[in-house]
A and B are shown apart, each in its own frame.
Chain A
Amino acid sequence: MIGSLPPRYRVNIDPVRCMECGRCIENCSYGVFSRDGDRIQVNSRNCTACHRCIACCPRDAISLEEHPCDYRSHPLWTREAREAIYNQARTGRIILAGMGNALDYPVIFDRLVLDACQVTNPSLDPLREPIELTTHLGKRPAKLDLRRREGGDVELRTRLTPNLRIETPVMIGHMSYGAISLNAQLAMARAAKETGTYMGTGEGGLHAALHPYQDRMIVQVASGRFGVNIDYLERGAAIEIKIGQGAKPGIGGHLPGEKVCADISRTRMIPEGSDAISPAPHHDIYSIEDLAQLVRGLKEATEWKKPVFVKIAAVHNVAAVAAGIARSPADAVVIDGFRGGTGAAPTVFRDHVGIPIEAAVASVDKKLRDQGIRNEISVIASGGIRGSADVAKAIALGADAVYIGTAALAAMGCRVCGNCYRGLCPWGIATQRPDLVARLNPDEASEQVANLIRAWTLELAELLGAAGINSIESLRGNRDRLRGYMLDESLMEVLDVKSVGA
């Protein structure tokens, strides 16, 4: 026998403060609270630390403690290692988890510091001087053929392919309808429109309610091909082929059947209640030339009017793969680092497969430059971008722009509890249960997401100004404006940054 494991959290209600209003009972979708006569009963074992009860308690009566019961401490046999074993000994199954990598790897972003000007060149003040954050994503020609006509007019003889223009280098990444609720998607789509950026549909098709925002949406084509038809492709501002995802490189998407309600079944074009497990590879892409064909196919289908992005997980040879993608007609490569979030992924993948986005972007940017094709493609970084400093550092390492995921969800209330795959999200985000979805007010949530993007944009302008840079493209790949702090020499070489003090 294995018996019960120690509870992960302990929830306490302070009887002096509690007024038995029952809001915690109503709000907790995991069944922690129940009424027992005139008191409220707590079952801590059901708790996920989603904080919904704490957020709703009018008296601050609820407290929460993590790991109230210790195991014998051991550096190797951690709680997580032991509990995974007990779990698997019982079930014989793969363990699923939500959100991003939960192992305690060092965060490279936190070992990089940014630069600012002093004396010899003036720092710029965004309140008084223009600082440009406008970013374009897409292919660019290596050189331009510009001729001056008689009379002095300049004629552009090089044909440019369409680029996406964003007013800030922050976009919202692909989270599908299915993984998250329609209200969550609506909120983010409105925020994207309001802040002049774009958001991804994920692999779940495009619900009709999102059509008003379609010119701000990047439609995804993933290995399950859910929701893909010509109407869908034509509606998007751009198309993204998802090859891999940072949270689970090498495998396809997982949408548990619990989340496949009628509306999702219609949008995805799959039976109600069925697990939507996307194939690991695209079964029409077994090689780089197959990918180039699909890129061309999608472009052809949409009359070469839309940029096509290719998203790959950051794996060991990410740079070579990106160089291959750059040689296709693809307009941007999205690199998703190993901290990228997910609605559901096997824990073993989430925590152990792939490499950090910082190193991946640096090596992709370098490889593309070494081959003289950096201009051929834009680079979008994603996977663990937590704030404007991470954005600035990712761009200085070589990205054109970033995708955020978890940060946008957090702006809508998500507490990163990591139980997205259960479909019970009490915040109305990662759920399809109508009563839970109704908790997320798209008007309010869109304002919060827009605020987050605006705040980061302001901070980016300040950071650029302090560095004496008035346009974001002069930060891109400008690793001279970064220094490594307590990074080892080989990693600094990969990142092509010097140490602090150097």
Chain B
Amino acid sequence: MLYIIYGSTSIRAFPDHQEVEGGGSTVMVMCGIIGVMDRSRRTMDGSGIRQALSIMNERGSGEGAGYAAYGIYPDYRDCYALHVFFDNPRENKPLLDSTLAQWGTVEHDEAIPTYGQPNLRAVHTPWRYFFKPEASPAAPEDEIVSALVMQVNAARRGALIFSSGKDLGVFKASGWPEDVADFYRIEDYEGYIWLAHNRYPTNTPGWWGGAHPFNLLGWSVVHNGEITSYGTNRRYIESLGYTCTMYTDTEVVAYLVDLLVRRHDLDVDIAVRALAPPFWEEIDRMPDQEREWNSALRLAYASAMMNGPFAIVAANRDMMVGFTDRTKLRPMVVGECGDRLYISSEEAAIRAMEPRVESIRMPAAGEPVIGRVVS
């Protein structure tokens, strides 16, 4: 999805690139999404998901695509893998290096290997750091890294951290799915969970940061839809220490999941229920105890509830979750084959990746699909 929110003044996030104009137009999409998870953590290379995503090119417009992969950095599995877009590494990297040095240790860093594509204009230099924060009981690792991400991205000094989890990475850019996949050569990566997104904005600022997936720490999110409650959600999440910097509504989904699951320690199915809760009419019919906690969930997390049409696939290292808005105004199909769970906008995309798929079903509105790895 792409609901792009601009400030009333023009913001030049990346000086070398097309300016994000003021004017606050809302950029929307149909978008295609797909996620796949192997329950036994057997890895797949990126060629399958590349194929699946390009099947849904009718849902995209060649202006944004991206992939998230879990389990791709086993050699650095204890480090936070920070994926960064530099406008210009020569200018912007020293500052980020010194910021990181203040917060912890960089075990290794390098340019993310990329391969020029005729139809993809490389406006940023993707970089990766394998980073160990200096944690203390007062400041646990996750807190440090999430604060670091918020600070760096809000400062807008030509560096944008778009992926910050352990043993995972997001690869995204403006372009068609195949071109983005080939730009990063995602077939060279082996992951046991993959998420992918094909974007159809109606008015692109060519903003790489606006492409999906969105990630914060362990959680990555792809989203098809438009969040009509974005203004409420953003103000809520920003009052709790997050800063929205990507000009798109999907960003809040990543932060809301982080808030509910990591900071508030809710089970993921309960967190999803807070984001797309049952109607009061259903709650009123529930048995006492169930009604009590469902009411409490709606009251406490009223401002986290997401409205408008959406289908979302989110993942962390142990699970993949798919859910839709309460009336299911965006498609979501679930397929299974052996240890593999697929969640996608289209059955065709699942079949492109797994022709022998054993079961295909369409969950009801608001019914989440949660797959967990076995070990």
Are A and B interaction partners?
Answer: yes
Q: Which residues of A contact B (CB under 8 A)?
A: 117, 119-122, 124, 129-130, 132, 134, 136, 140-144, 146, 148, 153-156, 158, 160, 163, 369-370, 372, 374-375, 396, 467-471, 473-481, 498-499, 501-502
B122 within 8 A of A: no
B267 and A148 contact, CB distance less than 8 A: yes
CA distance A369 to B239 in the complex (A): 5
A-facing mask of B279-308, CB < 8 A → 1, else 0? 111000000011011001111111101111
Question: How far does the alpha carbon of A501 sit from the alpha carbon of B25 in the complex, in Å?
Answer: 8
Cα distance A476–B229 in the bound complex, in angstroms: 9
Given A136-B299, A140-B302, A146-B293, the answer on whether A473 and B238 have CB atoms closer than 8 Å is no
Are B240 and A372 in touch, CB under 8 angstroms?
A: yes
Say yes or no: is B98 at the interface (Cβ < 8 Å to chain A). no
CB within 8 Å of A: which of B257-280? 263-264, 266-267, 270, 279-280
The smallest beta-carbon distance between A176 and chain B, in angstroms, is: 31
Q: Do B302 and A476 touch across chains, with their CB atoms under 8 A apart? A: yes
A129 contacts across to B, CB distance below 8 A? 327
Q: How far is the CB of A139 from chain B (nearest CB, A)?
A: 9
Query: Which residues of B from 215 to 262 have beta carbons under 8 Å from A?
Result: 225-226, 228-232, 234-236, 238-240
Q: Which residue of A lies closest to B283 (CB)?
A: A134
A386 to chain B minimum Cβ distance, whole angstroms, is 24
Q: Which chain A positions have C-beta within 8 A of B308? A: 121, 468-469
* 14 CB-based A-B contacts, threshold 8 Å: A121-B28, A121-B308, A121-B329, A130-B279, A144-B264, A144-B293, A154-B289, A155-B293, A369-B239, A374-B236, A374-B303, A396-B231, A470-B326, A476-B232
Q: In the complex, are the beta carbons of B239 and A372 less than 8 A apart?
A: yes
> A132-B280, A470-B326 known; A478 and B239 CB under 8 Å?
no
B300 touches A154 (CB 8 A): no
Contacts of A475 in B (CB 8 A): 229, 232
**Does A468 contact B228, Cβ atoms closer than 8 Å?**
yes
Main secondary structure of the interface of B (DSSP, over half): loop
Residue in contact with A498 in the complex, picked from B8, B225, B232, CB distance below 8 Å: B8
List 6 extra interface pairs beyond A136-B299, A140-B302, CB under 8 A.
Answer: A121-B308, A130-B281, A374-B239, A375-B303, A477-B235, A502-B24
Bound: A479/B235 CA distance, A:
9
Q: How far is the CB of B374 from chain A (nearest CB, A)?
A: 19
B22, B264, B305, B329: the one within 8 Å of A502 (CB): B22
- Residues of chain B within 8 A (CB-CB) of A468 are 226, 228, 307-309
B29 within 8 A of A: yes
Smallest CB gap from A134: residue in B: B280
In the bound complex, do residue A471 and residue B300 qualify as a contact, i.e. CB atoms below 8 Å apart? no
Q: Which residues of A contact B327 (CB under 8 A)?
A: 124, 129-130, 470
Q: How far is the CB of A398 from chain B (nearest CB, A)?
A: 9
Nearest CB of chain A from residue B324's CB, rounded to whole Å: 13
Interface residues of chain A: helix, strand, loop or mixed (majority)? loop
Q: Are B29 and A120 in contact (CB under 8 A)?
A: yes
Residues of B within 8 A of A473 (CB): 232, 298, 302-303, 305
Query: In the complex, how many angstroms separate the beta carbon of A377 from the nearest chain B beta carbon?
Result: 13
CB–CB B296/A156 < 8 A: yes
- Which chain A residue lies CB-closest to B232? A478
Give the A-binding residues of B (Cβ under 8 A).
5, 8, 22-24, 26, 28-29, 202, 225-226, 228-232, 234-236, 238-240, 263-264, 266-267, 270, 279-281, 289-290, 292-293, 296-303, 305-309, 326-327, 329
Q: Are B303 and A120 closer than 8 Å at their CB atoms? A: no
Q: How far is the CA of A163 from the CA of B26 in the complex (A)?
A: 36
Please give, as numbers and ranges, the residues of chain B lying within 8 Å of A122 by CB-CB distance: 309, 329
What B residues does A480 contact at CB under 8 A?
A: 5, 230-231, 234
Residues of A within 8 A of B267 (CB): 146, 148
Residues of B within 8 A of A148 (CB): 267
In the complex formed, the residue of B with least CB distance to A489 is: B8
> In chain A, what residue has the closest Cβ to B302?
A473
Once bound together, how far apart are the Cα atoms of A480 and B226, in whole Å?
13
* Candidates A134, A142, A146, A481; contact of B231 at CB < 8 Å: A481
CB distance from B29 to the nearest CB of A (A): 7
Q: What distance in Å separates the Cβ of B224 from its nearest Cβ neighbour in chain A?
A: 11
Cβ–Cβ < 8 Å partners of A474 in chain B: 228-229, 232, 305-307
Q: Are B309 and A478 touching (Cβ within 8 A)?
A: no
Distance (Å) between the CB of B147 and the closest chain A CB?
A: 16
Please name all residues of chain B whose beta carbon is closer than 8 Å to the beta carbon of A136 when the two chains form the complex: 299, 302
**B8 near A370: Cβ-Cβ < 8 Å:** no
Q: Which has the most chain A C-beta neighbours within 10 Å: B229, B240, B300, B329?
A: B229
- Which residue of B has the minimal Cβ distance to A124? B327
CA distance A84 to B361 in the complex (A): 76
Given A120-B202, A132-B280, A140-B302, A160 contacting B296 (CB threshold 8 A): yes
| Cross-chain contact A141 with B24 (CB below 8 angstroms) | no
B293 touches A163 (CB 8 A): no
- Which residues of A have CB within 8 Å of B226? 120-121, 468
Known A480-B230, A502-B23: A141·B307 in contact at CB below 8 Å: no
The closest CB in chain B to the CB of A369 belongs to B239
The 4 closest A-B CB pairs, nearest first, are A120-B28, A480-B231, A474-B229, A478-B231
Which residues does chain A contribute within 8 Å of B232, judged by CB atoms? 473-478
Q: In the complex the two chains form, what is the Cα distance from A467 to B240 in whole Å? A: 26
Q: Cβ of B279 and Cβ of A132 under 8 Å apart?
A: yes
Q: Give A160 to B297 CA distance when docked, in angstroms.
A: 11
- Given A120-B26, A141-B300, A372-B239, does the pair A471, B305 have CB atoms closer than 8 Å? yes
Q: What residues of B have a CB within 8 angstroms of the CB of A143 in the complex?
A: 263-264, 300
* In the complex, chain A residues whose CB is within 8 Å of the CB of B264: 143-144
B27 to chain A, nearest CB (A): 9
Given contact pairs A372-B239, A374-B239, A477-B235, A144 touches B307 in the complex (Cβ within 8 A): no
Q: A130-B279, A146-B293, A372-B240 are in contact. Are A477 and B303 (CB under 8 A)?
A: yes
CB-defined contacts of B238 to chain A, threshold 8 Å: 369
Query: How many Å lie between the Cα of A286 and that of B270 in the bound state?
Result: 45
Distance in angstroms between the alpha carbons of A467 and B308 in the assembled complex = 9
Contact A469 B5 (CB under 8 A): no
| Nearest chain B CB to A122 CB, angstrom units | 6
Cross-chain contact B228 with A467 (CB below 8 angstroms): yes
Distance in angstroms from B205 CB to nearest chain A CB is 15
Q: Determine which residue in A124, A374, A471, A474 has the highest number of CB atoms from chain B within 10 A of its CB, and name it.
A: A474
For B29, the chain A residues whose CB sits under 8 A away are 120
A480 CA to B4 CA in the complex, in Å?
12
Question: Which residue from chain B places its CB closest to the CB of A478 in the assembled complex?
Answer: B231
A372 to B225: give the CA distance in the assembly, Å: 29
Tell whether, in the assembled complex, residue B300 and residue A144 are in contact, meaning their CB atoms are under 8 Å apart.
yes
Question: CA separation between A234 and B24, bound complex, in Å?
Answer: 51
Q: In the assembled complex, which residues on chain B have CB atoms less than 8 Å from the CB atom of A498?
A: 8, 24
* Contact A375 B307, beta carbon cutoff 8 Å: no
- Identify the closest chain A residue to B329 (Cβ): A122
Contact A156 B239 (CB under 8 A): no
Query: Closest residue of chain A to B28, judged by CB?
Result: A120
Which has the most chain A C-beta neighbours within 10 Å: B24, B235, B266? B235
Q: In this complex, what residue of B is CB-closest to A373?
A: B239
- Of all chain A residues, the one with the shortest Cβ separation from B330 is A121
A375, chain B: closest CB distance, angstroms:
7
- In the bound complex, residues from chain A placing their C-beta under 8 Å from that of B24 are 498, 502
Q: Which residue of A lies closest to B277 (CB)?
A: A471
Q: How far is the CA of A473 from the CA of B274 in the complex (A)?
A: 13
Q: Which residues of B contact A120 (CB under 8 A)?
A: 26, 28-29, 202, 226
Within 8 Å CB of B279, what residues of A? 130, 132
Q: Is the CB of B228 within 8 A of A477?
A: no
Report how far A276 CA is from B299 CA in the complex, Å: 40
Q: Least Cβ distance of A385 to chain B in Å? A: 21
Taken together as a complex, chains A and B put the C-alpha atoms of A153 and B225 apart, in Å, by 32
A122–B28 Cα gap in the complex (Å)? 12
CA distance A132 to B302 in the complex (A): 12
